[in-house]
A and B are shown apart, each in its own frame.
Chain A
Amino acid sequence: MKTDELLRLLAADTQAVPRHAAEKRFALALLAGLGVALLWTVWGLGVRPDLFEVVGSGPFWSKLLMPALVSALGAALLWRLAHPGMRPGALAWAVLLPVALLWLWAAWVLWQAAPAQRLDLLLGQTWRVCSLNIVLTALPLGLGLFWALRGLAPTQPGWSGAAAGWLAGALAALVYSLHCAEMAPPFLAVWYVLGMAACAGLGAALGARSLRW
């Protein structure tokens, strides 16, 4: 087929392009993913028994700070990566900044603690399952975000997959906090971050294959 013919052909497809299709797609993916992740956490894992006592406390909210910041920055980054010609710029490393801050905080807590307590602060009661649970909770979120990305045009499939995984992991960490009773910053700095990093790694591997167009 000659290129001129192709042009006529493409111009014959005159359906107007809806203006906010990408916003709707991301919103739908996030709502559906969060819904499933919440259902799984509440019915599958169960909320922490003392949720109503701690929900008003400072430590509970400061625990949410890192994943909440990563979620906000990660959503902005993913939005840019999904649109050709929009450069990630400083957001590319800004999504790691909340983790760096958490690590500083955790290091300070460890330094202040009595040497005998340090291992407990790091391992808590649930270090064996925490990271894996975060990955499982992130699954519906990650699937949703990949679905959204496949409807857009990420020009860096590997990085976009990693960003989607990182965002899914951070949102999963928020949801998982309804179940998980661990509050020590050193614990969060290791096991929460490990779970989120695993999500990012999975996302990168899957993205490099499945996000090409």
Chain B
Amino acid sequence: MQRTSDVTATEHELRASFLLGLDGDARAYHRFLERLTPLLRGYFRHRLNKLPDEVEDLVQETLMALHAQRHTYRRDQPLTAWVHALARYKLVDLWRRRSRHEALNEPLDEDLEVFGHTDDHVHETQRDLALLLDALPDNQRLPIVRTKIDGLSVREAALATGMSESAVKVGVHRGLKALARAWKEMT
């Protein structure tokens, strides 16, 4: 019972900041991602006992997918169900790639499981996003580098790159989509 109520509390907390994020609140969205990441890591670590090196890659891939697909969340739906469906899709996708046999053993677990374990222990990723980033055109790479490495705000990044604020936003947006595509092609 204790764990179920913990998970319910997590659902409320995460959902609140996620909804703010959907409406454009970057700080709430960042808070949501920070809170979600160890949960995803725990979920995958639990299910990838034999593939510990894949966990962090899968966490990153799922975060990117979640970001790219956040318009598919229906606001009247539990967030756990949505996150779990995405995470499981990425997990099954990994298994499908690794071996046909493992793909047959799709886990039959419950939505709540996705918020059941926390894991802060970060392994190194195998595929390096930074390499993919270098391959992007300047108008996408620079906004991403400025907001990522320097942690600049959109306005500061615009000043630093000489681009307009909306060009920085569009650059980040398109660059992320291109990154997700390039990532997918490497797998």
Q: Which residue of the partner chain, among B26, B63, B81, B125, contacts A85 with CB atoms under 8 Å?
A: B81
Q: Are B148 and A84 in contact (CB under 8 A)?
A: no
A8 with B63, Cβ < 8 A, contacts A1-B128, A84-B72, A212-B93 known? no
Contact A84 B86 (CB under 8 A): yes
B101 located at the interface, meaning its Cβ lies under 8 Å from any Cβ of chain A in the complex:
no
Q: Is A111 an interface residue (CB 8 A)?
A: no
Inter-subunit contact A16/B22 (CB<8 Å) = yes
Cβ 8 A contact of A11, one of B29, B77, B84, B128 = B29
Report chain A residues within 8 Å CB of B60: 1, 3, 6
**By the criterion CB–CB under 8 Å, are B72 and A153 in contact?**
yes
Q: B45: CB under 8 A from chain A? A: no
Residues in A with CB closer than 8 Å to B151 are 8
B64 & A10 in contact (Cβ 8 Å cutoff) = yes
Nearest CB of A to B171, in Å = 10
Interface digits, A1-32 against B, CB 8 Å rule (1 contact, 0 not)? 11101111111111111110110000000000
B99 within 8 A of A: no
A13 contacts B169, C-beta separation under 8 Å: yes
Within 8 A of A (CB), among B63-118: 63-65, 67-75, 77-78, 81-86, 88-89, 93, 111
A19 to B71, CA, bound (A): 8
Indicate the size class of the contact surface on chain A. Answer: 20 to 34
The answer to the question of A83 belonging to the interface, with a C-beta cut-off of 8 Å to chain B, is: yes
Report the minimum CB–CB distance from A70 to chain B (whole Å): 24
For the complex, count residues of B whose C-beta is within 8 A of A: 56
Residue of A nearest to B131 (CB): A1
Assuming the contacts A3-B60, A7-B63, asked whether A155 and B88 have C-beta atoms less than 8 A apart, the reply is yes
- Whether B142 sits at the interface, judged by CB under 8 Å, is no
Instruction: Give the residues in chain A near B154, CB-CB below 8 Å.
Output: 12, 14
Contact (Cβ within 8 A) B24 A14: yes
A84 touches B29 (CB 8 A): no
Question: Contact at B71–A17, with CB atoms within 8 Å?
Answer: yes
A22 to chain B: which residues have CB within 8 Å?
Answer: 71-72
Cβ of A78 to closest chain B Cβ, rounded Å: 13
Could you tell me which B residues sit within 8 Å of A by CB distance? 21-27, 29-30, 33-34, 37, 56, 59-60, 63-65, 67-75, 77-78, 81-86, 88-89, 93, 111, 122, 125, 128-130, 133, 143-144, 147-149, 151, 154, 169, 172-173, 176
List 4 additional contacts besides A8-B30, A22-B72, A85-B85; criterion CB under 8 Å. A10-B29, A11-B33, A84-B82, A85-B111
